[in-house]
Amino acid sequence: MSIVVTGATGHLGRHVLEQLLDRVPADQVTAVVRTPEKAADLAERGVNIAVADYNAPETFDGLFAAGDKVLLISGNEFAKGRVEQHKVVIGAAKAAGVALLAYTSAPGSLTAALADDHRGTEEALTGSGVPYVLLRNGWYHENYTENLAPVLEHGAVVSAAGEGRVSSASRADYAAAAVAVLTGEGHENRTYELGGDEAWSFAEYAAEVGRQTGREIAYNAVSGEVMRDILAGSGMPAPFPEILAGVDASIAEGELVISSGDLSRLAGRPTTPFAEAVAAAVKG
């Protein structure tokens, strides 16, 4: 039996691997990657490396074994049909008879187009007969803290989220929940709504960046159309401006406020405060 993590060299996958290696022997962990060179350090630590691609179904043939626990980290290639990509993994997991397949989904409350592929994948997974866990991850701190440069350049946080609030958490927090599920028992066929302990507003985000930097940072609330234009003008490729503006609209409606407490319970600790993430980003 192995614990298998797809997308293992991605931002979330790396956190999952590091935390898994604190809990289980490396030879019981398999990292699924497209580019093995990116996983060379993991291989050196004794992690099994499997090379596979969501776009090449044959690469998943025989990859899983009966009794494996698998984490399917959602793909990020929006233009390539993510549901079909994910079905490749679900089908391979079913054929192998894995013990559990956990999927990193989106909050059940989210109606933005971003959630459509997740709902399609959830339907495929829950109907497959494979023991599953839906890890409905909320928004990441890093979606904002890794993009402070334009905030500092223009002295403003710009968003179409109005007065909406976000229960974000760090990637490490969400990874801790995934690791708890992969190494624990009794999670089969469960759905977890995951988000940070404290929700924040964009006005509070601007104020926090100002406090951390000693600068005056404004909050500029704009329309969804203006936000799409700003994002497109920054060079962001389609369809991301439309997707992110849609998420802002959902935030304005309160759809990314997650009050279940599932994340801190699974992680076994409070979630990382947003202010702490901002501070780390400001220090660089």
pLDDT value of residue 80 = 66
The residues, any chain, with a CB within 8 Å of residue 174's CB and separated by 6 or more, are 12, 15, 104, 135, 137, 140, 194, 263
Cα separation, 11 vs 263, whole angstroms: 18
- Going from N- to C-terminal start, the domains of the chain cover 3-137+171-194+259-268
How far CA 139 is from CA of 96, 97, 143, 184, 278, in Å, comes to 32, 32, 7, 24, 15
pLDDT value of residue 47 = 98
Torsion of CA 190, 194, 198, 202, to 10 degrees: -150
Could you give the angle at the alpha carbon of 14 between the alpha carbons of 242 and 202, nearest 5°? 40
pLDDT value of residue 79 = 59
Beta carbons of 136 and 194 less than 8 angstroms apart: yes
Q: Which residue has the tokens 């590091």?
A: 18
What does CATH list as the number for 3-137+171-194+259-268?
3.40.50.720
The residues, any chain, with a CB within 8 Å of residue 66's CB and separated by 6 or more, are 96, 97, 98, 99
Tokens at 152, concatenated? 């500092």
How far CA 13 is from CA of 71, 229, 246, in Å, comes to 9, 32, 26
Residue-wise pLDDT tens for the chain (284 aa)?
Answer: 899 999 999 999 999 999 999 999 999 999 999 999 999 999 999 999 999 999 999 999 999 999 999 999 998 876 568 999 999 999 999 999 999 999 999 999 999 999 999 999 999 999 999 999 999 999 999 999 998 999 999 999 999 999 999 999 999 999 999 999 999 999 999 999 999 999 999 999 999 999 999 999 999 999 999 999 999 999 999 889 999 999 999 999 999 999 999 999 999 999 999 999 999 999 98
Q: Is the entire prediction scored with pTM above 0.95?
A: yes
Q: Which residue has the tokens 């399609």?
A: 120
Please choose, from the candidates 176, 168, 147, 189, the residue with its C-alpha nearest in 3D space to the C-alpha of residue 251.
Answer: 168
